[in-house]
Amino acid sequence: MTNTALQILAPDANGFRSAAAIMRAGGLVAFGTETVYGLGADARNDTAVAGIYAAKGRPSFNPLIVHLPSLAAAEEYCDFNDVARALAGAFWPGALTLVLPLRADAGISKLVTAGLDTLAVRVPDHAVAQGFLSEFGGPVAAPSANPSGRISPTTADHVIAGLAGKIDAVIDGGPCAVGVESTIVSCVDAPAILRAGGIPVEAITACLGRAVAQPDDPDTPQSPGQLASHYAPQGQVRLNAMHVEQGEVLLGFGAVSARLNLSASGDLTEAAAHLFDYLHQLDAMGATRIAVSPIPDHGLGRAINDRLKRAAAPRD
Ligand code: TXA
Ligand code: MG
Q: In this model, does residue 124 exceed pLDDT 50? A: yes
Asked whether residue 4 carries a pLDDT value surpassing 70, the answer given is: no
| pLDDT at 2 exceeding the cut of 50 | no
Q: Characterize 173-195 residue by residue with b for buried, 16 or more Cβ atoms within 10 angstroms of its Cβ, and e for exposed.
A: beebbbbbbbbbbbbbeebbbbb
Q: Backbone dihedral region of 136: left (phi > 0), alpha (psi from -120 to 50 degrees) or beta?
A: alpha
Q: Would the pLDDT of 240 be above 80?
A: yes
Question: What are the structural domain ranges in the chain?
Answer: 7-208, 236-312
The CB of 99 under 6 Å from ligand 1? The reply is: yes
pLDDT (average), residues 73-77: 98
Ligand 1 binding pocket includes 22 (Cβ within 6 Å):
no
Mean pLDDT across the stretch 174-197? 96
Does 3 score more than 60 pLDDT?
no
Task: Categorize the per-residue pLDDT at 59 as very low, low, confident or very high, splitting at 50, 70 and 90.
Answer: confident
Question: Does residue 118 have a known ligand-binding role?
Answer: yes
Give the CB-side neighbour count of residue 180, counting CA atoms within 13 A.
Answer: 26
Matching CATH number, 7-208, of 3.90.870.10, 3.40.50.300, 3.30.300.250, 3.30.420.10: 3.90.870.10
- According to DSSP, the residues that pair with 152 across neighbouring strands are none
Q: Phi and psi (nearest 5°) for 118? A: -120, 160
Q: Say if ligand 1 is within 6 A of residue 111 CB.
A: no
pLDDT of residue 22 exceeding 90: yes
What spacing in Å lies between the alpha carbon of 225 and ligand 1's midpoint?
A: 7
pLDDT of residue 314: 82
Q: Is the CB of 223 under 6 A from ligand 1?
A: yes
CA of residue 255 to ligand 2 center, whole Å: 30
Average confidence score pLDDT of the chain: 93
Query: Ligand 2 center to residue 144 CA distance, Å?
Result: 4
- Measured in angstroms, how far is the CA atom of residue 65 from the centroid of ligand 1? 5
**For residue 143, pLDDT beyond 80:** yes
Q: How far is the CA of 143 from the centre of ligand 1 (A)?
A: 6
Least confident among 90-104, 205-219, 268-282: 205-219
Residue nearest to atom 17 of ligand 1 (CA): 225
Which pTM does this prediction carry?
0.91
Q: Answer yes or no: is pLDDT of 214 > 90.
A: no
What is the mean predicted confidence (pLDDT) over 165-178? 97
- With a 6 Å cutoff on the Cβ, whether 224 touches ligand 1 is yes
Ligand 1, from 34, 79, 97, 108: best to mutate by most atoms within 8 Å of Cβ?
97
Using the predicted structure, report yes or no on whether residue 238 has a pLDDT greater than 90: yes
* pLDDT band, very low/low/confident/very high, at 26 (cuts 50, 70, 90): very high
Task: Determine the pLDDT at residue 221.
Answer: 65
Report the residue among 111, 133, 181 best suited for mutation to probe ligand 1: largest number of ligand atoms under 8 A from its CB: 181
Note the pLDDT tens digit of each residue in 243-260: 999 999 999 999 999 999
